[in-house]
Amino acid sequence: MSVPIMTLDKVRKSYGDSVAVHSIDLEIAKGEFIALMGPSGCGKTTTLRMLAGLDKPSAGEIRMWSRVMNDVPAWERDTPMVWQSYALFPFLSVLENVEFGLKQRRTTDAVGRRAKAMEWLDRLGIAGMAGRGIDQLSGGQRQRVALARALALEPEVLLLDEPLSALDAHLRVRMQTELARLHGELGITFVYVTHTQSEAFAMANRIVIMSEGRVQQIGTPQDIYRAPATRFVAEFIGASNILSGTLKESGAGGIVIENALGRFRSAGATGIAVGQDAAFVIAADKIALTRAADPAEPGLDAVTGTVAAEEFIGAVVTIHVDLPDGRSMFVQKQQNEVGRLGLARGDEVRLAWHPQDTFVIPG
Ligand SMILES: Nc1ncnc2c1ncn2[C@@H]1O[C@H](COP(=O)(O)OP(=O)(O)O)[C@@H](O)[C@H]1O
Ligand SMILES: [Mg+2]
């Protein structure tokens, strides 16, 4: 990566004795769409507020390009923030709300401000509402005003804190598409906080998964889906088929674990000692599904179980399979592929995979 537009260098934030963010290292490239994702309370908003200049790190450094930003106040930064709650001024009109941010920056005169504000209202499809009061708008329209207000500043980095979570599902998906489009058109760097996996996976170039104030993994959506770095990530994204057991062998060729279902190989390496607990993830899209009575394909590892449920989302079917030890796994297939098998609940099936398509979860 060339010089990142923003760098978090061992950034920490504590409130008295409690630590909200432990020690985050993150480099954000110009133009990226980065999502910070994790459960409520994991430190996402705290991190974003520090990037915005609304909170100061307790330790570490935040840099924009090469400039240390720790002591630069929010209004001197080029990193406005959009909130879930919109944070609009109720006593100002839609147009005045957008003009307000520009006025603070003193970048242009009143005529220029008005033109710029109208341009952005138009771009967000709400130019017709310029004269309305905020209380005359729907939630979706309010969020557009908040976005227009931030984008009218033409910032280098836009910070968004769960901006869509107050919207209903239908609107959320529409705004998601629109945000992704705006990001593509504008070349502005987006740092987007969400606890919703589908949002992060649909829009972000890279996702930072956080838990309890620590970064668990940074990677592309595909990296994270295919190779979760920790058990927390694997479970959080729910994409996981985790097999755990006792580590029986560990060498250059991979590892072998054993549990009540049998012995299973993974091509990955692990720092875990033989005899300890170990686990790996099998990519759900790499698992072959056949009837248990069909001949097994040589070279693959497999478990058998019974079909518990089928879930249809578009052309993809997720089949949940109960295993004899009480655990369950799932596979995802195209509908036509599953249609051929003609499965019903309770049918015996085999799930088989290549050890190359597994990822060892580190210690
Ligand atoms: N101003 C504050 N004073 C004390 N604790 C705070 C403050 N702000 C946040 N926290 C704590 O820091 C942790 C992270 O909070 P936050 O960053 O808001 O999480 P998230 O946005 O991921 O839900 C939480 O435990 C929260 O209670
Ligand atoms: Mg938050």
pLDDT per position as a tens digit, 34-58? 999 999 999 999 999 999 999 999 9
| pLDDT higher than threshold 80 for residue 239 | no
Among the four given CATH numbers 3.60.150.10, 3.90.1170.50, 3.40.640.10, 2.40.50.100, the one describing domain 239-360: 2.40.50.100
| pLDDT higher than threshold 70 for residue 130 | yes
Q: How confident is the model at residue 186 (pLDDT cuts 50, 70, 90)?
A: very high
Q: Identify which of 312, 149, 158, 325 has the alpha carbon closest to the alpha carbon of residue 245.
A: 325
Q: How confident is the model at residue 197 (pLDDT cuts 50, 70, 90)?
A: confident
| pLDDT higher than threshold 70 for residue 240 | no
Give residues whose Cβ lies within 5 Å of ion ligand 2: 45
Instruction: Give the per-residue pLDDT at 1.
Output: 59
Q: Which residues line ligand 1 (CB under 6 A)?
A: 15, 18, 20, 38, 40-46
Instruction: Give the per-residue pLDDT at 115.
Output: 94
Pocket test for ligand 1, best of 46, 47, 191 (most atoms within 8 A of CB): 46
The closest residue, in CA terms, to atom 21 on ligand 1 is 45
Mean pLDDT for 170-191 is 90
Strongest mean pLDDT among 188-192, 237-241, 247-251, 266-270: 188-192
Q: What single-letter amino acid sits at 164?
A: L
In the predicted model, what is the mean pLDDT of the chain?
Answer: 91
Q: Rounded to whole angstroms, what are the CA distances from 294 to 94, 105, 351, 353?
A: 65, 70, 11, 15
| pLDDT higher than threshold 70 for residue 362 | no
Q: Is 182 helix (H, G, I), strand (E, B) or coil?
A: helix
Q: How far apart are CA 170 and CA 85, in angstroms?
A: 18
Instruction: Give the per-residue pLDDT at 224.
Output: 87
Instruction: Give the per-residue pLDDT at 238.
Output: 72
Mean pLDDT for 134-142 is 93
The closest residue, in CA terms, to atom 18 on ligand 1 is 45
The closest residue, in CA terms, to atom 17 on ligand 1 is 43
Rounded to the nearest whole angstrom, what is the distance from the C-alpha of residue 4 to the centroid of ligand 2? 24
| pLDDT higher than threshold 80 for residue 245 | yes
The closest residue, in CA terms, to atom 5 on ligand 1 is 15
Rounded to the nearest whole angstrom, what is the distance from the C-alpha of residue 245 to the centroid of ligand 1? 36
Pocket test for ligand 1, best of 45, 85, 209 (most atoms within 8 A of CB): 45
Mean pLDDT for 345-356 is 95
Q: Which atom of ligand 1 is nearest to the CA of 43?
A: 17
Give the other-Cβ count within 10 Å of 271's Cβ: 10
| Least confident window among 97-111, 144-158, 244-258 | 97-111
Residue the block writes with tokens 């620590």: 214
Q: Which atom of ligand 1 is nearest to the CA of 193?
A: 21
| Least confident window among 18-22, 218-222, 259-263 | 218-222
C-alpha dihedral, 114 to 116 to 120 to 125, nearest 10°: 50
Give the other-Cβ count within 10 Å of 341's Cβ: 16
| Least confident window among 153-167, 231-245, 317-331 | 231-245
Mean pLDDT for 277-284 is 84
Q: How far apart are CA 88 and CA 83, in angstroms?
A: 9
Say whether 239-360 and 6-226 share the same fold: no
The closest residue, in CA terms, to atom 8 on ligand 1 is 46
| pLDDT higher than threshold 80 for residue 22 | yes
Higher pLDDT: 105 or 167? It is: 167
* Sequence ranges of the domains in the chain: 6-226, 239-360
* pLDDT cut 90: percent of the chain above it: 65
Among the four given CATH numbers 3.40.50.300, 1.10.580.10, 3.40.50.2300, 2.60.40.10, the one describing domain 6-226: 3.40.50.300
Strongest mean pLDDT among 77-86, 261-270, 288-297: 288-297
| pLDDT higher than threshold 70 for residue 334 | yes
Pocket test for ligand 1, best of 15, 40, 49, 161 (most atoms within 8 A of CB): 15
Q: Identify which of 102, 88, 95 has the alpha carbon closest to the alpha carbon of residue 130.
A: 95
Q: Which atom of ligand 1 is nearest to the CA of 40?
A: 23
Q: Do residues 274 and 249 make contact, with C-beta atoms less than 8 angstroms apart?
A: yes
